Amino acid sequence: MLIVESYSIAVAMCLITMLCWGSWANTQKLASNEWQFQLFYWDYSLGVLLLTLLFAFTIGSSGEEGRAFMPDISQAGSEAVRSAFIGGVVFNLANILLVVAIDIAGMAVAFPVAIGLALVIGVVTNYMAAPVGDPVFLFTGVGLVTAAIIVCALIYARLPQDEGRSVGKGLAISVIAGIAMGFFYRFVAASISMDFANPEAGLMTPYSAGVVFAVGLLLSNVIWLVPLMYKPISGEVAPIGEYFSKGTPRLHLVGILGGAIWCVGFSFSFIASGAAGPAISYGLGQGATMVAAFWGVFIWKEFKDAPEGTSMMIAAMFALFFVGLGLIVYSR
């Protein structure tokens, strides 16, 4: 299996994670005019599963070190499988709630609150389990990235707001999403042996854990997504029949692509965690908020109607982010 031992390569993979996690939602944006989120999300979930299987049977089963996917999944203990599966279920809840919160309260409330909470909780819990890196540099970097996320919220708050936003309900859902997002990574990390070359018996490699995670994500749609299809918190009903009657090959492929993009980031984060440590891997990945902001600023032109002075805030946001990112990297 492919094993990363160089810290610099691990950091590069974490930066790719950040790009993927901050970019996959563009596929939803591309399909949103023709395709309701609930229907898009089935293809997204399928894309995650397909890519984890592709990685498991290719780079996860090549080379002489580690365990290939089939032998690894066959020897995995029930506790490890359960932990990775729960990680998929918890992440799915967080991800679905985040999208619902954005729809209800807008990006200015939902994304910074949810991802800010997830960043702090995720780094703390993963550092406590595997204390890799200088805590002063690591948590100072996390603080600066969190400050950048807050500035991002303030920038969005300056934009003209749509009528009918329910900030209170959106804030409550954002908090739940952030807490769940902060803990999902720990569940998956607990199922993985940190010695990738000689994995501990009963635990899994990142490739096998990724497949179990993806199965948990897809199957938990029955619990989290189906109720929202028929009793949406906001928006219209999206009956399952429309997935087949309205779905075109292009729309299905766009959704699968979105899941695949997110999954590249997920897989690289865990592959890099052996050399970088889970806390650093997760912290760098959650810088995805700034990547999403980059798309909003320069590609989708979301701030073209912002009042004067917003450009200075955008510059400050990216400055805080890049300095914080540098400190997280330097902490190792």
Residue 114 has pLDDT above 90, yes or no: no
263 pLDDT exceeds 60? yes
The domain ranges of the chain are: 11-330
| CB burial of residue 284 (10 Å; 0-12, 13-18, 19+) | buried
Average pLDDT, the chain: 90
Res. 14: pLDDT tops 60? yes
Please give the C-alpha separations between residue 232 and each of 153, 238, 244, in angstroms, as whole numbers: 26, 8, 20
Q: Is residue 174 a contact partner of residue 113, using CB atoms and an 8 Å limit?
A: yes
118, 175 Cβ separation under 8 angstroms: no
Q: How many residues does the chain have?
A: 332
- Over 70: is that where the pLDDT of 15 sits? yes
Across 307-315, average pLDDT: 87
The dihedrals phi and psi of 243, each to the nearest 5 degrees, come to: -60, -35
Yes or no: say if 14 and 284 are a contact pair by the CB < 8 Å rule.
yes
Q: How far apart are CA 270 and CA 258, in angstroms?
A: 19
- What span, in angstroms and rounded, lies between the C-alpha atoms of 304 and 22? 20
> What pLDDT was estimated at residue 162?
62
Q: What is the pLDDT of residue 156?
A: 74
Query: What does the DSSP assignment read for 53-72?
Result: HHHHHTTTS-SSSS--HHHH
Please report the pLDDT score of residue 84 as a whole number. Answer: 98
Q: Are the C-beta atoms of 156 and 106 separated by less than 8 Å? A: yes
Task: Name 204's bridge partners.
Answer: 192
